[in-house]
Amino acid sequence: MIKDNQKYFNRIQVVIDGIIIIISYIISWMLRFRSGIFVMDDWYLPLEVYMRALIYIVPGYLVLYTIFQLYTPKRVQGRRLEAWHIMQANAIGVMGFILILYLIKEPNFSRTMIFVFFVVNVFLGVLARNSIRIFLRNIRKNGYNQKHMILVGYSRAAEQYIDRIVSNPEWGYSVRGILDDHQPRGMEYKGVKVIGSIDNLLIILPQNRVDEIAITLGIDEYHKLEYIVNMCEKSGVHTKFIPDYNNIIPTKPYTEDLLGLPVINIRHVPLNNTVNKIIKRAVDILGAVFALILFSPVMAVTAMAIKISSTGPLIFEQERVGLQNKPFAMYKFRSMVVQDSDKEKNKWTTKDDPRVTKVGKFIRKTSIDELPQLWNVLKGDMSLVGPRPERPLFVEKFKEEIPRYMVKHQVRPGLTGWAQINGFRGDTSIKKRIEYDLYYIENWTIGFDFKILFLTFFKGFINKNAY
């Protein structure tokens, strides 16, 4: 059974990691002192002396790998997340190594060699783990190393769970059937059949032929939950619960323990933390000042082009809804002809919109028209990164039509955002845009912001949906 195999896989992975660390260390020494790539020192320590440090490096790194959850099953950790954890563990390992050398006053160990070791070890570590991942994927697709399971309860959660398993055969899950009190025996969903009622667990569990039970009850049957869990725990079979209200509770809910009483917060917003707020605001101010200096020539040329090509103000102000549903004046370079506010269309700009000027068409397509919003960032109305703000009339409309739409107003709106760099700008799906905005809000880190800002230079400026 796979639950037994996982222990062996973890032990093998620890051994492989230890070997990779040693090999990376030796390769790094060779690159530093034998390859001719780096300037040679007049004198350096031999490999034998460097190798003595491995007595501490190998166990230290393996502890770091454990801390960064690099020995969890590969079914529950994606390639990118695993690679990121490897980089984090190695970064801390290198910093710790250098700190120890400083504390013991050891000046003869090459710091260049240590940084080469960081690069080589990350590369070989990611390469080895991806090779193992491909190997496991192939054997699971061929029916080996499978995790056999039963679903208890037919619901939306059961269907969604089966959808994901069918779409990802490399995970190695094999659903033997569904137990449900309301659906007829033999009913099928994507090859998975209802094989009996929930009470059939009393027969199935003693046979010890399943690795896992997934409770997928409909929300109206949760009164059976305690009974089912008690049965599963008596048999010793690993049991997990897949809630039928995932459209309400986020994928990573924030839980609290009130003297033994679990409390699930409906929405976890990292930016509610004071320290996170301060960090993000500091980055916004520094980034906005830097961007204003960097783009000042572009803004000056744009201002002249607008002034020459059409009559009217350079800057267009429009009311938008921001943090905590408060309205603010958002600035843009004017890209349309001047029009009366009471005659302005209550909709987005459409293709070949006659209101857009020739200069306006270009600056909208390249997002240059949004550069004045850097002043909004400095004022605190906006952030460099966040959900895009909407006009009040659209907010009133969408909050009734789009589930969880108003959650976006728990953070400052942004000049760019996760939805925007994924193509959801202008005349695109509001529902998909909100999905990306919610993902950003619930998974915010300062590193995530830097990633979005970086990708904006490649994906965010040219807007094919801007007219």
Reported as a single tens digit per residue, the pLDDT across 76-88 is 567 788 888 899 9
pLDDT at position 68: 86
Q: Which of 381, 372, 390 is nearest to 315 (CA)?
A: 372
Angle between helices 274-309 and 358-365 (to 10 degrees): 150
Q: Which of 344, 302, 297, 336 is nearest to 316 (CA)?
A: 336
Task: Quote the distance between the C-alpha of residue 458 and its chain's center.
Answer: 19
Residue 306 identity: I
Strand partners, 262: 257
Residue 21 identity: I
Residue 278 identity: I
Does the pLDDT of residue 2 top 60, yes or no?
Answer: no
Quick: pLDDT tens for 177-224.
999 999 999 999 999 999 999 999 888 888 777 888 999 999 889 899
pLDDT at position 361: 84
Does the pLDDT of residue 44 top 60, yes or no?
Answer: yes
Domain ranges of the chain: 2-141, 147-246, 272-460
Strand partners, 327: 321
Quick: pLDDT tens for 92-111.
999 999 999 888 888 888 88
Q: What is the DSSP letter of 402?
A: S
Q: Which of 5, 13, 16 is nearest to 145 (CA)?
A: 5
Q: Name the one residue in this structure whose structure tokens are 């004071």.
A: 274
Highest mean pLDDT among 125-129, 137-141, 253-257: 125-129
List of residues 6+ apart from 380 with CB closer than 8 A = 281, 412
Q: What is the DSSP letter of 459?
A: I
Q: Judge residue 415's burial from the number of C-beta atoms within 10 Å of its C-beta, 0-12 exposed, 13-18 middle, 19 or more buried.
A: buried
Q: What CATH number should be reported for the domain whose range is 147-246?
A: 3.40.50.720
Does the pLDDT of residue 19 top 80, yes or no?
Answer: yes
Strand partners, 241: 215
pLDDT at position 238: 84
Q: Judge residue 240's burial from the number of C-beta atoms within 10 Å of its C-beta, 0-12 exposed, 13-18 middle, 19 or more buried.
A: exposed
The residue with greater pLDDT, 399 or 285, is: 285
Q: Name the one residue in this structure whose structure tokens are 């910093």.
A: 95
CB atoms within 10 A of CB 224: 14
Quick: pLDDT tens for 211-269.
889 999 998 898 999 999 888 888 778 889 988 876 666 666 777 778 888 787 777 78
Q: Which of 112, 113, 129 is nearest to 24 (CA)?
A: 113
40 pLDDT band, cuts 50/70/90, is confident
Average pLDDT over residues 326-335: 92
Query: In the Cβ-directed half-sphere of 234, how many Cα atoms lie within 13 Å?
Result: 13
